[in-house]
Amino acid sequence: MSKKITKRSEDFSKWYNDIILHADLAENSGVRGCMVIKPYGFAIWEEMKAVLDRMFKDTGHVNAYFPLFIPKSFFTKEANHVDGFAKECAVVTHYRLKSGDAGEIIVDQDAKLEEELIVRPTSETIIWDTYKRWIKSYRDLPLLINQWANVVRWEMRTRLFLRTSEFLWQEGHTAHATEKEAIDETKKILFIYKQFIENTLCVPVLHGLKTDSEKFAGAEKTYCVEALMQDGKALQAGTSHFLGQNFAKAFDVKFANKEGNLEHVWASSWGVSTRLMGALVMTHSDDNGLVLPPNLAPFQVVLIPIYHNQEEYDKVTSCLKDIGNDLRQNNIRVKEDFRDTHKPGWKFSEYEVKGVPIRITIGPRDLQNQTVELCRRDTLTKENILLKNITNIVFDMLEQIQIDMLEKAKDFKNKNTFIVDEFDDFAEKINAGGFVLAHWDGSPETEEAIKKQTKATIRCVPIDIEHESGKCIFSGNPSLQRVVFAKSY
């Protein structure tokens, strides 16, 4: 009604933006490249945080907090890392403002920092500078620490949630006595991400390894989970890095092993960010607005009364209140919208745009029949059910929606995953959108040439699969396995 959403088929990018704005998830701020996450969007992010934080803690991780600022010199300690991260970042050079001659506010040039501070784009360097103090002996290991934080990577072209100069994320940083332990940790987190994104966000993901050209600056190996958006583009949803001994060597972090000999520590780091909000929106939303998985919905059910006069209003809302209390007692998150200032039609549209999984309405006739109308947001189907069965039915329906949304997304992903052996076919499929499994000869030159010609990047090299040898789609050289290509965000 009130808020017009561009159709996906017309302009996917504009559609995405419309959903974010009209569902009140986020908006651009007065600071270039930085977004404001609005209360409704933030409530979804809080649910994500709660679930993931629990998964981390259940696997022995603890939270801590490290400084926002990183001295410039820290970055130079790990050669690859500085190449990857010291480029586009916010640099603090002064620590004071003062009044100028005309009373305006200017930077006080006397308050120049001796060494510039970088607003963290990621925290490996400041954390490994800290771990040097914490790790002395094998008894101090493993160290399994996570941080929820804001980070800044200067971006020229920004998109809400997908690419913003400041974003929120969690970053895990672990230290281990052996290479095997660090690799096991890296993989354990990869599977926590996969499980979380599939079961909580209902977004199916492929998992695998990044190629050398796509891996994290400073990592030995980068594992990733990749999702497929409705426009056929891939989105990197999370990464888990095996860092080898790179940061331990850069920051001279050694531990005494059981024999008393000093060894460098092994490490992992891993993160997911508010980018997941973008994945959520682009996987499930439709032309009517956002569609939320029940597990993440700030309210899972909205209650809306239909009435023509005060007497009807009183009766209908009294009945809805009872329903609300009953649902809440079953740990269902309920929103009652009994406002007299807005018409039911306006409310229907509002909560449809906001993606609330189930809408319950009662009008005077329903009251007579002792029925209610349930509307499922994901399917937009309606049904009338008996009032007395409501709590059980809602409870089951929420579970079913969670299952169905993942199935629907899996279906989409499967239908848009192609096995291809000819380059013409490859280029066509890439152009149309989807995951394309093709053979690659393993050389960065071929990878680069394919990217140049088709805009496709290797999203991941699948692991845990049976190898199947073949010929590279581009060079014709021998290949040991298919890798996943796609255009991406």
Q: Which is nearer to a second copy, 94 or 343 (CB)?
A: 94
Of residues 439-458, those binding a second copy (CB under 8 A) = none
- Calpha distance 414→456 (Å, rounded): 19
Task: Find the shortest distance in angstroms from Cβ 96 to a second copy.
Answer: 6
Q: Which of 37, 225, 334, 484 binds a second copy (CB under 8 A)?
A: 37
Residue 59 as a binder of a second copy (CB under 8 A): the answer is no
Task: Find the shortest distance in angstroms from Cβ 29 to a second copy.
Answer: 5
Q: Which of 7, 13, 54, 65 binds a second copy (CB under 8 A)?
A: 65
Our CA dihedral for 426, 427, 433, 435, rounded to 10 degrees, sits at 30
For a second copy, what does the binding mask look like between residues 168 and 207, x meaning CB under 8 A? x---------------------------------------
Task: Find the shortest distance in angstroms from Cβ 113 to a second copy.
Answer: 9
- Calpha distance 277→407 (Å, rounded): 19
Residue 67 as a binder of a second copy (CB under 8 A): the answer is yes
The secondary element (H helix, E strand) that includes residue 432 is: helix 423-432
Residue 152 as a binder of a second copy (CB under 8 A): the answer is yes
Q: Which is nearer to a second copy, 76 or 318 (CB)?
A: 76
Mapping DSSP to helix (H, G, I), strand (E, B) and coil, where does residue 34 land? coil
Q: Which of 47, 129, 336, 378 binds a second copy (CB under 8 A)?
A: 129
- Calpha distance 338→344 (Å, rounded): 9
The secondary element (H helix, E strand) that includes residue 273 is: strand 266-273
Q: Which of 6, 27, 199, 441 binds a second copy (CB under 8 A)?
A: 27
Of residues 388-417, those binding a second copy (CB under 8 A) = none
Q: Which of 1, 62, 380, 463 binds a second copy (CB under 8 A)?
A: 62
Task: Find the shortest distance in angstroms from Cβ 265 to a second copy.
Answer: 17
**Residues contacting a second copy: total by CB under 8 A:** 61
**Cis before 142? omega within 30:** yes
- Give the range of 25-33, 187-195, 228-236, 353-361 binding a second copy by CB under 8 A: 25-33
Q: Which of 34, 51, 256, 385 binds a second copy (CB under 8 A)?
A: 34
Residue 116 as a binder of a second copy (CB under 8 A): the answer is yes
Q: Which of 80, 150, 178, 417 binds a second copy (CB under 8 A)?
A: 150
Q: Write down the residue that tokens 């006080």 correspond to.
A: 108
- Give the range of 1-9, 150-158, 170-178, 467-475 binding a second copy by CB under 8 A: 150-158
Q: Which two tokens stand for residue 95?
A: 């620590």
Cβ-proximal residues to 123 (8 Å cutoff; 6+ apart), any chain: 66, 70, 147, 149, 151, 171, 173
- Give the range of 3-11, 88-96, 233-241, 349-357 binding a second copy by CB under 8 A: 88-96
Residue 260 as a binder of a second copy (CB under 8 A): the answer is no
Residue 4 as a binder of a second copy (CB under 8 A): the answer is no
Of 308, 299, 395, nearest in space to 351 by CA:
299
Cβ-proximal residues to 253 (8 Å cutoff; 6+ apart), any chain: 128, 131, 132, 135, 175, 247, 264, 265
Task: Find the shortest distance in angstroms from Cβ 40 to a second copy.
Answer: 8
Give the amino acid at 340: D
Q: Which of 2, 7, 13, 31 binds a second copy (CB under 8 A)?
A: 31
Cβ-proximal residues to 380 (8 Å cutoff; 6+ apart), any chain: 288
Q: Which residues of 285-301 are buried (b: 16+ CB within 10 A; e: fewer)?
A: bbeebbbbbbbbbbbbb
- Give the range of 127-135, 188-196, 238-246, 412-420 binding a second copy by CB under 8 A: 127-135
DSSP string for 175-222:
EESSHHHHHHHHHHHHHHHHHHHHHTT---EEEEE--GGGS-TT-SEE
Q: Which is nearer to a second copy, 36 or 419 (CB)?
A: 36
Count CA within 13 A, CB hemisphere, residue 95: 8
Q: Which is nearer to a second copy, 97 or 380 (CB)?
A: 97
Residue 36 as a binder of a second copy (CB under 8 A): the answer is yes
DSSP 8-state code for residue 153? -
Mapping DSSP to helix (H, G, I), strand (E, B) and coil, where does residue 25 land? coil
Q: Which is nearer to a second copy, 119 or 235 (CB)?
A: 119
Let me know: does 367 contact 315? Beta carbons within 8 Å: yes
Give the amino acid at 384: N
Task: Find the shortest distance in angstroms from Cβ 31 to a second copy.
Answer: 5
The secondary element (H helix, E strand) that includes residue 470 is: strand 470-471
Task: Find the shortest distance in angstroms from Cβ 44 to a second copy.
Answer: 11
Query: Residue 360 phi/psi, 5° resolution?
Result: -115, 125
Of residues 294-353, those binding a second copy (CB under 8 A) = 341
The secondary element (H helix, E strand) that includes residue 329 is: helix 310-329
Residue 484 as a binder of a second copy (CB under 8 A): the answer is no
Q: Which two tokens stand for residue 453?
A: 């010609």
Binding site for a second copy (CB under 8 A): 27, 29-31, 34-39, 42-43, 46, 62-72, 74-76, 82, 86-98, 104-105, 107, 116-119, 126, 129-130, 133, 139, 145, 149-150, 152, 154, 166, 168, 341
